[in-house]
Structure 1
């Protein structure tokens, strides 16, 4: 049986992603459909499993979707095509329809010429060794054969209704920026049904992203949103990434709230309802967040970075809420446990109303720390994990206070510094946080000292 080999670089830790016309093609999409459908049949034990397929607003997405569906149907699987929309709508489809699996065609927050596939199976994410196995099935041509079927289902209104079900917030003035990404249509429909005044930016889905790059974790992409918040004297501004699973947030004073700050505020009403509950954040989050969760009576848990890993840990611990610095927010409280930036936005509005204070006032209540941004610096794929291991061994020999949940996070009297290997790029990631600038300088120096013996070009602070 003839197989198909993917360009190795597109088989990543959490998804399959490449550059259309260079490392990713329609033939890849069809082969992925064959391999994924076959994998789902094997894992589910069903000869004709039901698989949801959705796609984002990139120009290449419709053609990739058609090829993918052809491949899936050739295995005998039944395809539920949910059409154009945000990635969380695809997750919603699998959960609400009780489907065995789902696959989303999306380039997420990458440039317009990128595209890829995010997958889920039996209620959980497909990642790591599972993605490698799907690649192996394709390479070996171990495809199931059958006559599948497809139906098209419009879930958009049901998805929006589910997000605002039981909304507990009051009227606010909010500026929304979809960044011309796949969240645009859902954002339009949702804001029509929320109380208050809503100003929409870049709500028309356009895969060329003419306004700005759709990544709300980079402050340069929030300039338009900040200006609109000021112009309309809005209470806050909300931005989404290209496929609607990551959120950006601006307060009424135009200040960015980063992922850990958003999570700290969202934890307040959750822990008021669920005292003692576990709240999970990744290792890049501020110590302020973990201290705040403990102060509120919750159980803080530091987890590894990666949305697939966070989802798995939520299921294991029963945590009602989790988040990452990258803007992925996961609600199992009153929701499904997947990362949905539109639903997170709804909960932000509820939190502001619940607190009876402005978002700016809530932000000011959080302790301040001096920290670096997330520093990403080159390191070969063949070396990055080895470098972290070398640093870990030297720190252990020196008796340092180290957490090894994901890389190394070193705590000192000044604060903490982090070094980890990216699972998706040939880079190392570092971050430092201290109570003051002098302490931050000492942490930076300690990080550089720890790296030096491994011969790595250090990050530029």
Structure 2
């Protein structure tokens, strides 16, 4: 039954493209969590759904947000399965495992400790973009469904770990691996996973702690991998694996402590996937190196460049039937033998299985040595008001078209030149423009930076110092 309820206006800044995310006490409150539950539950019931899974990460604010969220969901008449503390991919798994209509995870992902939010799925598909905008409107109008729901604790950690181990396919070689979940939610399942994996495993910062005392849980930031890199060298390990705060993004370092970025991880994983699925499409986001797309083609696959954003990638992956996809941020998506969502623990199992099958002289460090080594800037972010950032990007496209430049506009603009490529796009989650340049030479990189700077100047954007000072990452 649908009834009018107390209207609740969510802070507009928390309704992001891919999820809901805010700062406790500033833009996000416990009352907001209850309203999100009532609004999301109303959307689920209107869609014909009857059940929802709820999980939470280890942030200090997550238990009280989860409690309010559950109460809101139950008030709409849904059967609510509380799966408890764990990584976001365990929540996604629970939706499949329990055949639930929907799922919602209380998590701040890799954001600072005072941040938190919600990631959602409906009918096993990502809930994002216009869906999240609709949720905001339902809450603001108080257009909530009403019913007598039911809440039960349904723990799936063992089932989840068993499913991860089901796809272990390593050889006889036992690896030495250092793990760093960064005191994030992945630590809740990691111990059980390692109990079932062969090899020698060393865990750093395994206890779930929402203050993140060791370091910020973001494996795309080299500073957060310092402890892992040092431990890999000290233990003479084969590799090190890190996770972000909610366990849906992976970071990898080789036996020499060198970082493999998301596109390099994807290039390795594409080999066995394309062997099993010849000619299949493999998706990467627009920030990925050209070396990755070239490697996928070399392996007989069909490289597809797509928009940045885990929800966008998952939706497109299902649309085109891709068995594998990934982002520079370390989101890796397996539909080959798995469910098609981003799961860093599952990715780790598949990566280790592949490495353990390699001939004994072949190590990850040796493979790293043979990878192409383009020179590129780091991801550059500079402020640009939300009110004009997309308008500026439209103007940039017009300028490039007039110049007859070769570019892709799948997500912003990725300009291809003889020297390499540069990217400029509007962030979907922050008031920023994002840029990156890549060439095979340092001189070529400088040409690309100059070209990007010139285009920015033409459209009236000041050239940010971050671009002028950027050096090879």
TMscore range, shorter length: over 0.9
Unpaired runs of 5+ residues, structure 2, are none
**Alpha-carbon contact 2:167-2:349 (below 8 Å) kept:** no
The alignment partner of 1:275 has SS state of coil
Shift of 1:455: 2.4
Shift of 1:261: 0.3
Please name the residue that 2:326 is paired with.
323
2:358 is aligned with 1:358? no
Please name the residue that 2:205 is paired with.
202
Unpaired runs of 5+ residues, structure 1, are none
**Alpha-carbon contact 2:262-2:327 (below 8 Å) kept:** yes
Please name the residue that 1:413 is paired with.
418
Superposed CA offset, 1:395-424 (max 9, x none): 001100010000000000000000000000
2: distance between equivalents of 1:362 and 1:9?
Answer: 43
2:59 is aligned with 1:30? no
Query: Of 250, 259, 274, which residue of structure 2 is paired with 1:247?
Result: 250
TM-score, length basis structure 2:
0.96
2: distance between equivalents of 1:95 and 1:455?
Answer: 49
Shift of 1:362: 1.4
Please name the residue that 1:106 is paired with.
107
Shift of 1:274: 1.1
The alignment partner of 1:164 has SS state of helix
The alignment partner of 2:166 has SS state of coil
2: distance between equivalents of 1:185 and 1:54?
Answer: 12
Please name the residue that 1:390 is paired with.
395
Query: Of 432, 435, 445, which residue of structure 2 is paired with 1:427?
Result: 432
2:338 is aligned with 1:342? no
Root-mean-square deviation (CA), in Å?
Answer: 0.8
Shift of 1:454: 2.4
Shift of 1:350: 1.4
1: distance between equivalents of 2:382 and 2:304?
Answer: 27
Counterpart mapping for 1:59-458 below 5 A: 59-170=60-171, 171-356=174-359, 357-458=362-463
Superposed CA offset, 1:45-86 (max 9, x none): 24xx10000000000000000000000011101101000000
**Alpha-carbon contact 1:216-1:241 (below 8 Å) kept:** yes
2:17 is aligned with 1:13? yes
The alignment partner of 1:52 has SS state of strand
Off by >6 Å, runs of 4+ in structure 1: none
Shift of 1:349: 0.4
Shift of 1:453: 2.2
TM-score, length basis structure 1:
0.98
Shift of 1:456: 2.0
**Alpha-carbon contact 1:378-1:457 (below 8 Å) kept:** no
Shift of 1:458: 2.4
